[in-house]
Structure 1
Amino acid sequence: MTMTLSITDIPALDDGRLRAELEALLEDAVNSGASVGYHAPLAAHWKRTFWDGVAAQLSGGAHRLLIASGPEGNLLGSVQLALCTKPNGAHRADVQKLLVFTHHRRSGVARRLMEAVEDTARGLGRSLLVLDTLKGDRGEPFYEATGWRRAGLIPRYTVEADGAFHDTVLFYKTL
């Protein structure tokens, strides 16, 4: 069964209701084990700080935020696209922070967000996308299944909540 959802490109984070939903999304992701730069339990100031940073990047114009909403307008997930602004990188962008609420995972939301972020990148003249994910994370087989190619591994890239160093896997996709 495919869930009915809509994808929206959000130009600014000035809607208080959306901002609260995004903060809850980040908290849900971190507290359910997603490796997105934070450790559980996620403190309230980190949620605000993270989305303040995204808001600043959006206002700078080199960042895109796509959200997936359900039939009643409720937030299901989000993904970000960071556009390279250097002259030699005008063809590429980084896909960042693919987040889906725990209770909506495995329902096609992540796949739809990734299709939308790829379409957005194409529309902006980007032909190469890159992303990274924690080795062994559930994202690793998902990216492979959606046509992303493994570029390599960086050992000891993060320090996770267990205090140990963990590797990250780099992926790319040519559009």
Structure 2
Amino acid sequence: MTLTFTLDPVVDPALRDGILDLWADVSNAGGSVGFVPPVTREAIRPELVKHFAAMTEGRTRLLVGHDADGRVAATAFFTFNTHRLMTHWVWLYTVMVHPRHQGKGYGRDLLAAAEDAARGFDGIRAIRLTCRGGEGLERFYGSCGYKEVGRIPGAIRVADDDFRDDVILLLPLD
């Protein structure tokens, strides 16, 4: 069983709710996607609305993976860099695979689909993403071809006394 990926899907209530469920489930399972557990769909909703607004403005694109049951199982948002000297690379945000699908290779599939999509974007020569240090994510992204190009120590506060590095990774597309 594999995921079916769609770039720029139609945003309807089912997709919106599927992404909210995915984001909450990933966050509450300890995933590093902008929240710390416990988090509710309602707490996530404003952030998703920001993503959708950026999509409407053409600044962001969505890649979504559906499982065999048609449920949203994975996402990645591309955000185009607007700085005139940096429009040749794109950010990859909110990279998620549902916890029920962990260990099936779907994270690699999602990143491969993201790479394929980015190769089709005009003038894009690299994908940049960040991850929260201390989770082992650098090793996973490294195994998918991303190289660590920077690290900001203690930039992410997940609790009053728990600071994590913000790790910057790059995948050249050349």
TM-score, normalised by the number of residues in structure 2: 0.92
In structure 1, the residue matched to 2:91 is: 94
1:68 is paired with a residue of what secondary structure?
strand
Q: Structure 2 regions of 5+ residues with no counterpart?
A: none
Q: Which amino acid aligns with 2:115?
A: E
Give the partner amino acid of 1:159.
R
- What per-residue deviation string (whole Å, max 9, x for no partner) do you get for residues 111-165 of structure 1? 1111111111111131011111111214221101011111121011111036421
Quick check: 157-166 or 120-129, which moved more? 157-166
The answer on whether the counterparts of 1:40 and 1:161 sit within 8 Å (CA) in structure 2 is no
Residue 31 of structure 1 aligns with an amino acid whose one-letter code is: N
Between the two proteins, the alignment pairs up a number of residues equal to: 172
Report matched runs for 1:82-121 at 5 Å. Answer: 82-121=79-118
Q: Would the alpha carbon gap of residues 16 and 141 (structure 1) be closer, same or farther in structure 2, given more than 3 Å must change?
A: same
Q: Which runs of 4+ in 1 moved over 2 A?
A: 10-13
The within-5 A match list for 1:145-164 is 145-161=143-159, 163-164=161-162
Coordinate RMSD, CA, aligned: 1.5
Structure-2 residue corresponding to 1:79: 76
Counterpart for residue 29 of structure 1: 26
CA contact (8 A) 1:11 1:64 kept: no
CA deviation map 1:15-38 (0-9, x unaligned)? 111111110111011111112221
Q: TM-score, normalised by structure 1?
A: 0.91
Counterpart residue type for residue 71 of structure 1: A
d(CA) in 1 for partners of 2:34 and 2:2? 30
Percent identity, aligned pairs only, is: 30
